[in-house]
A and B are shown apart, each in its own frame.
Chain A
């Protein structure tokens, strides 16, 4: 029993360290910003007198020693309070949760597209003939080298402005999700395909594939049921990392397509020097990363039976 709990505890501790590190990192970064933090609150408004500045300094505890401020900050985060936005007269929690769903929606569809597309392309181009693979490799290279913001602009020009098939910006219409999802998901699909294909080609040389063939299995079932499954492990790691850091891509995609979302909130907060919001987004992003990493670990056990005993998981 104890042996089963130990890896879970280690994981939890590791997760806490990552989140704590990210929070500390953002706290430290904000201390490095030159100038009086009160300026970030009042902006360039010169009408604020010294007494009011002093009041603000007290209210936001800028007069306390740095260590106390840091401890306060950690204490508040640990109890789930992210503080108030400087600019928006709302709590950071409200600001982020209000914008969370559009980003989650975008990220989920983009991940789904990336996974389905990469598996489909890998299986379809894994045949004996070389040409489909070469063409696919070339397309992958092109897509990987295309910056997301330009891909978005290209898609907008073609499909929205010239063909008029899809809306230019977010209209609430599900069709307005198509281009952002493609922009975010396509580059990930390209990288995943490269990894999957490499894994598949390695797996096809493995003895178990020979065994499967010797048992008289059809080629497509050897490839898709045995070899492909084997090549999913590295791809799974990579997918987890991508999903965990999708927020970065969301910053760009949400700006290209003028979509609401956490990415836009983050960019706006940086432009407005709205520090509590920036800290909130960083904390959220660290938590998402840690959760996704844990889910991926669980999925390993589903995909690879050899890992089940080690992680204490029963076959799913």
Chain B
């Protein structure tokens, strides 16, 4: 019984394995797929899944499996970078709100409320309007979408930490204010935020791919999953595999991240309560 309890649940184990595989595929795709993502064989276009082409070939005879494997890095890095940027923006935002007195707090949090009232996709569209289409614009767009929610959490946490014993002690010891913020307040507000960021990472990956699907992010022939889906949608009647398989990998990635994130959340909730 004790052994059974120590072993992770099967779902969690699968998620961990898939996560490692995807990380490897993102860093070194050649390990899984030999050819290049742009290499096409015009004599073998629109072929169904087979032993040779696991995921079939697309309209230019490119191997969908190879392209999908190479696409791992785009979705993963857009999602991770966006979450990272979101955390950085939110840290400044939330801390400033918590530490800047009542008027500043109200203004900054009201601004967050307003951004939360707009649909994330619409917000992202506006960001892309400023930055122009491309991977950078989409990353920033997703980051801006996540930041207000993060900022709220960090503000709430900072308000608690500010009144904690160790901060009082530091104040009493005469530590300067900026140092207290950087050394004591920030690290202690980040812990719950990092858990939230893991849970949000799945959504970020998904939104990033959706924006690319809408033609705002990575452009063809980049093997980004969202862009591949757009290309494949034109061939749904003849060659369903072009759009289906990259999407399946996307689902697998989001699912994996969500399972791991929820586990992290459950663990952290268990620790604090």
Interface residues, chain A, CB within 8 Å of chain B?
A: 17-18, 21-22, 25-26, 29-30, 32-34, 141-142, 144-150, 153-154, 156-157, 161-162, 244-249, 251-252, 255-256, 266-267, 270-271, 273, 278, 281-282, 285-286, 289-290
Contacts and interface: CB of A to CB of B under 8 A. Distances in A.
Given A147-B206, A157-B236, A25 B247 contact: no
B247 A281 contact: no
A258 to B, nearest CB: 10
B122 A147 contact: no
Given A18-B117, A32-B130, A278-B129, A150 B251 contact: yes
Interface of B: 110-111, 113-115, 117-122, 125-130, 202, 206, 209-210, 213-216, 226, 229, 232-233, 236-237, 240, 243-244, 247, 250-251, 254-255, 258-259
A147 B250 contact: yes
B119 A285 contact: yes
A276 B120 CA distance: 20
Nearest to A273: B129
Given A17-B110, A141-B259, A289-B118, A267 B236 contact: no
Contacts of A270: 125-126, 128-129, 216
Nearest to A17: B110
Given A25-B118, A153-B243, 20 more contacts: A18-B114, A26-B126, A29-B130, A33-B130, A145-B254, A147-B251, A150-B250, A150-B251, A153-B232, A245-B118, A245-B120, A246-B119, A247-B119, A248-B120, A248-B122, A252-B214, A255-B214, A267-B125, A270-B125, A285-B118
Contact of A147 (B119, B129, B210, B233): B210
22 contacts: A18-B114, A21-B110, A25-B118, A145-B206, A145-B258, A146-B251, A147-B209, A147-B210, A149-B213, A150-B247, A153-B247, A154-B247, A156-B236, A245-B118, A247-B119, A251-B121, A252-B121, A255-B214, A270-B126, A270-B128, A282-B126, A290-B117
A245 B126 contact: no
Contacts of B128: 270
Contacts of B121: 247-249, 251-252
Contacts of A144: 258
B236 A153 contact: yes
Nearest to B213: A149
A281 B202 CA distance: 27
